[in-house]
Amino acid sequence: MRKLYILLFAFSFITLIAQPKLSLKGTVYFENFALQKIEIINLDTEKIVLSDADGHFEMEINIGNKVVIGNSAYNYQTLIIKKEDIENKEFKVFLTKKIEQLDEVEITNIKMPKIKFDQASIDGLRLKKENTFPNTINNQNQIPNGADFMALGREIGKLFKAIFNIQPKKPKEILPEIDIKSYVAKNFEPNYLTEILHLKLEQVNLFFEFCKSDANFESTFRSDNVLLVMDFLNKKSTAFKQISK
């Protein structure tokens, strides 16, 4: 009997090894253009491959695996792999381009004032003072028609501000509140919450509030990293379902 068990175990092991590995082969497009360097990520095995110059890719897969396809320039698309996807010899994925909003950038050229500290410059200041405020006082304690050192000091102050780029302190920037509903609608497929995270429609608003209560919510959603946000939502949905039972 013991030998029979050993033979059955060996046969099962050999059969398991002999099973062919499943692979998903496909092409990634934007409209009619094949896309290269697109990330194809298997969330279950944590494996990642990139599409080649013709948009083709191939990766080991199992039926039911979650696969994310996209990159920083294109919206990520999440797929649950089915048997017909693996058998499809012309499996195609069509991505949409992200709409980026560029912040206005103001460029200011700072020109350093030219100040001459030669005698001619000082004489010019003296002449300007003579014509504007005649100095009639002339004694041992005051300089008749002397140079305007206050004006000269102001010019020196401007020079130091320009050299050391001294600028008035700006008020602390107030970041706008994160609209999680708009973020999910912009970066994920319409059925992401119901089909991928398996949430009920009536639970969605409560789930969003649950996410906002997390200490890492702000930093995650302001990171502009869709994969990081996706991982955050997956973990939060699992925890949400446990407390909702």
Cβ neighbours of 6 (radius 10 Å): 10
- pTM exceeding 0.85: no
pLDDT at 107: 39
30 and 86 co-located in one domain: yes
Residue 189 counted as domain residue? yes
Residue 87 counted as domain residue? yes
What is the percent of the chain where pLDDT is above 70?
62
More confidently predicted of 76 and 243: 76
Mean pLDDT of 77-83: 91
pLDDT at 149: 62
Residue 105 counted as domain residue? no
pLDDT at 45: 86
185 and 231 co-located in one domain: yes
pLDDT at 215: 87
Asked whether the beta carbons of 49 and 59 are under 8 A apart, the reply is: yes
Mean pLDDT of 163-184: 73
pLDDT at 105: 38
| Number of domains forming the structure of the chain | 3
Residue 139 counted as domain residue? yes
Q: Is the pLDDT confidence value at 92 over 90?
A: yes
The backbone region for 217, taken as left when phi is positive above 0, alpha when psi lies in -120 to 50, beta otherwise, is alpha
Residue 173 counted as domain residue? no
Provide the mean pLDDT of the chain.
Answer: 76
Cβ neighbours of 222 (radius 10 Å): 11
138 and 186 co-located in one domain: no
- From CA 196, how far away is CA 186, in angstroms rounded? 16
Asked whether the beta carbons of 24 and 85 are under 8 A apart, the reply is: yes
The backbone region for 45, taken as left when phi is positive above 0, alpha when psi lies in -120 to 50, beta otherwise, is alpha
Q: In which domain, by residue range, is 149 found?
A: 119-163
How sure is the predictor about 69, in pLDDT bands with cuts at 50, 70 and 90?
very high
Q: Is the pLDDT confidence value at 110 over 70?
A: no
Residue 232 counted as domain residue? yes
